[in-house]
Structure 1
Amino acid sequence: MMHAPRIRALQSRHAEIETRIAHEGTRPRPDDAALAKLKLEKLHLKEEMERLRRQH
């Protein structure tokens, strides 16, 4: 698959963002704006991974 390295990089970034979201959520007063930004970025990464998988 030509897109495999790109998909792996996106998966890694997706996992990193998931960790950051979880960490932010454990704070006594989570930053709602930061969480929203992280979740949006995570969604964009997921969409890109799906797009690349469909192209295969």
Structure 2
Amino acid sequence: MIQYLKDNIATILISVLIFGLMAWVIIYKIRQRKNGESSCGCGCSGCPETSRCHK
């Protein structure tokens, strides 16, 4: 088991980093949506998707 970890430490660390980053982005987007912030970054007045928006 120790030898496996030594042989694959780079892959394991990169995988943990990528999954952690993905989890952070998902949590950030969920918090934005709960707070009523726009996910696209533009104003709702000129948006063609106004009828589908959560606001």
TM-score normalised per structure 2:
0.49
Based on CA coordinates, which of the two structures has the bigger radius of gyration? 2
Give the TM-score normalised by structure 1.
Answer: 0.48
